[in-house]
Amino acid sequence: MGGVTSSIAAKLAFFPPNPPSYTVVVEANTGGHLSIPEIPATTRREGVEVLKLRTRRGNSIAAVHIKHPKSSAITLLYSHGNAADLGQMFELFVELSNRLRINIMGYDYSGYGQSTGKPTEYNTYADIDAAYKCLQEQYGVKDDQLILYGQSVGSGPTLDLASRLPSLRGVVLHSPILSGMRVLYPVKRTYWFDIYKNIDKIGLVNCPVLGTADEVVDCSHGKQLWELCKQKYEPLWVNGGGHCNLEFYQEFIRHLKKFVLSLGKSQASSTNNSSQKPTMDSNNLNKTSSGGGAADTFDLGPDIPEVSRNSLDSRIEKSKKADKPAKSRISTDGVDRFRKKKGLVW
């Protein structure tokens, strides 16, 4: 019965771009380094690594790590929505890294892009665990240097991991869902066959949480999750913001930057007060869903750094034109409009 339920849930929750928007190739004469040839030349930069990671469920997932040249040790682990892949998200990752001056890792769920396997709830939990393990072992990222970012359906794996890591720096919930069932129906309780039971996990998160909302996933989802947080940070409900374009709004970028800065100040304050948080090592990844190091202060600087012509600024200006509103990065055809009407683009 559980397998049937999981299969039905996957059909409702996951819409990987088909065909994938990118490929992964081995660069010649580089000792086996991987690259994504579809990345535009304007967004290529030093410090980008393309990775293939093995999950505990046997799948190989694609990931990218973007290192900011002036970053502190802070890293943001981004879990995207249900209708995008790394090829479509890459430019956004570069922009966020530039503007926030932090390192970013993004990954594709099993069955998305160049990741093997099929997209399921429990596969996404294994996927984010593999990305987290890579950050620990390959890049030396400690829990108190890590911010988890979950957009829409990505709030599921984000909160699942956050509920098991007591020393995280912070969590960002971008248009999150209370649970899969609650996106489709206004149910008052959690059923056993529901997926991404975020409402039951948010109370286990011990770090500051920033919430945002839009018009596709009802804002009540984000507001209720925020109310259940142990450590609340001033939320942002973007007036007129779309499900897949909140990053196009300057107020969103400013608020996100303010949040990241506040995490640096609070961490420095706790260090000065000699407070200790419990640490988390990779062994705790065994505490999966059924089925700390030294703190670093950092300064993002008061100004938003200069970015390319193809930056968010140019897209923001385009979105202001009444005769031609900007398209979401994942809304590519009429199928997406149908999914939105049915409440299936999370």
Cβ(63)–Cβ(53) below 8 Å: yes
* DSSP3 helix / strand / coil % (the chain, rounded to 5): 40, 15, 50
Cβ(97)–Cβ(68) below 8 Å: yes
Run of H or E including 95 = helix 86-100
| Residue 30 burial (10 A CB sphere; 0-12, 13-18, 19+) | exposed
Query: How many of the other CB atoms lie within 10 Å of CB of 232?
Result: 13
Distance spanning both ends of the chain, measured CA to CA = 25
The string of DSSP codes covering 103-138 is EEEEEPPTTSTT--S---HHHHHHHHHHHHHHHHHH
Residue 152 known to be catalytic: yes
Segments of 175-317 assigned E as strands = 208-213, 231-232, 236-237
Catalytic-labelled residue, pool 115, 152, 167, 331: 152
Residue 214 known to be catalytic: yes
Q: Which two tokens stand for residue 145?
A: 């240097």
Length reported for the chain? 346
Residue 220 known to be catalytic: no
Cβ(146)–Cβ(168) below 8 Å: yes
Rounded Cα gap, residues 169 and 231, in angstroms: 12
Q: Which residue has the tokens 């919930």?
A: 173
Catalytic-labelled residue, pool 160, 214, 218, 336: 214
Catalytic-labelled residue, pool 65, 68, 80, 243: 243
**Which residues belong to the active site?**
152, 214, 243
